[in-house]
Amino acid sequence: MSATKGSEVHFDPYAHEVHDDPYPYYARLRKHAPVYYNEEHGYWLLSKWDDCYEAFRDVETFSSTAGPALEAQQDANAGYPMFINMDPPDHTRIRKLIQSLMLPKRIYALEQYIRDKAVSLITPHLEKGYMDLTQDFAALLPMDVISTMIHVPEKDQDTVRGWADDLIYREDGQFGLNERNINAYFNLGKYFDQLATELSDKLEGVDDIFSAVLQAEREGKLTHEDVIGFGILLAIAGNETTTKLIGNMCYRLWQHKDQRQMLLDDPSLMSKAVEETLRFDGSTQMIGRQVMKDVVIRGKTLKKGERVGLCIISASRDEEKYENADSYDITRGSRDHMAFGKGIHSCIGANLARLEVQVCMEEILRLIPDYEIDEAGLKRTYNPNVRGFTHVPVTFTPKSS
């Protein structure tokens, strides 16, 4: 919940009502408390573009080692290490290993596979004239694509995706992890432990991302725990955020039918539309950092050891950065938003996410251009870091086979 009394602001990123529409709350933060301290839980929030940008760049002051969640974790790598929770030099070492496997040329080679998969998921629903764009489509495609990269068989994909969903879900007002989250984490860990063990020898000589990670383990460059953490990270980051972004974009184009018509009239605008959705309603809302030394921002002193959340979606709506920042304009096409972070921790899968969303939206608008959302049936996931829908029921003009 958020309220203002004079210049005072109270903001709870764990409240479901905030997740339903956080943007008025972020606007009040930017105006009244751009460097905000939550006394109840003991963390700071940065909501302006310049402040978030500098925090992303200053990795010596704002560390990733306590994990991306806003709530404090004494050692985010106490379970399975993930390079999202690392600072240099460990982060640099592992990112360099993976980055060569995520180059644009390699990613764009997946375009036809993604397009064929998108069509195969939508087509069975064309005669019925209705489907759930999340459950029947957006939740399935990214999981399928990432599974081809980490060798999760089709029979296991729903289970892995379910654990990823459970891991990020938060009850109203929940601060920290509950039993559902913890069980999901350890289920994912057990799964990727077994998968990595089974595939270790079978994938020698195969040229893909999981094979490279397993090869690095054989060469002593990564531990087995590193491999497990990598699998968990891709199952979440390579699935949840893209799934939610597709749903968010479908919703925004339904809300702004003039923008949808522009895309129908000129499909070449799609890449710009994806960027505008990332800026305007990206699925990643904020990311946590640990303050490593006292730092003063806008007259406020953040002390060593304190937690700080970088409200990247608020930064991407900063009125001092973008003209008409609260307007959804697919012709804007700005790529300097913070949806994929900045600096050394900028999302290594950004090219894949952009490609998946662009291809998916092209096929949605080609096959069901007149879709209408049943707003009463919309359901959200609830998490301070990730925002999006678990259900987006739509109707459209049926097509006979």
pLDDT in tens, 255-294: 999 999 999 999 999 999 999 999 999 999 999 999 999 9
Inform me whether the pLDDT recorded for 106 exceeds 90: no
Element spanning 350, H or E: helix 350-367
CA-nearest of 393, 341, 388 to 165 is 388
Give the whole-number percent of the chain exceeding pLDDT 90. Answer: 57
Provide the CA 137 distance to its chain's centre, in angstroms.
17
Kind of pairing between the strands at 43-46 and 307-310: parallel
Give the predicted TM-score (pTM) of the model. Answer: 0.89
Mean pLDDT over residues 190-201, rounded?
89
**Within 13 Å, how many C-alpha atoms sit on residue 282's CB side?**
25
Residue 74, pLDDT score:
46
Cβ(17)–Cβ(41) under 8 Å? no
> 145 exposed, middle or buried (CB, 10 Å; 0-12, 13-18, 19+)?
buried
Residues 141-157, mean pLDDT to the nearest whole number: 88
Eight-state DSSP code of residue 176: S
Residue 21 binned pLDDT confidence (cut-offs 50, 70, 90): very high
Nearest partner of 65 among 78, 54, 51, judged by Cα: 78
pLDDT at 220 over 50: yes
Average pLDDT over residues 78-102: 82
Which residues are CB-contacts of 19 (< 8 A; sequence separation ≥ 6)? 380, 382, 383, 384, 387
| pLDDT of 101 strictly over 80 | no
Q: Which residue has the tokens 């870091």?
A: 385
Pick 250 or 240 by higher pLDDT.
250
Query: pLDDT value at position 35?
Result: 97
Write out the DSSP string of 262-330.
Answer: HHHH-GGGHHHHHHHHHHHH-SB--EEEEE-S-EEETTEEEPTT-EEEE-HHHHTT-TTTSTTTTS--T
pLDDT of residue 67: 83
User: What integer pLDDT is reported at residue 1 of this predicted model?
Assistant: 41
The sheet with strand 130-132 has its strands ordered as 130-132, 393-395, 372-373
Q: Give CA–CA dist 137/126, Å, rounded.
A: 13
pLDDT in tens, 336-385: 999 999 988 898 889 999 999 999 999 999 999 999 999 999 999 888 88
Strands 295-297 and 300-302: antiparallel
d(CA 80, CA 63): 18
Q: Which residue has tokens 């972020």? A: 26
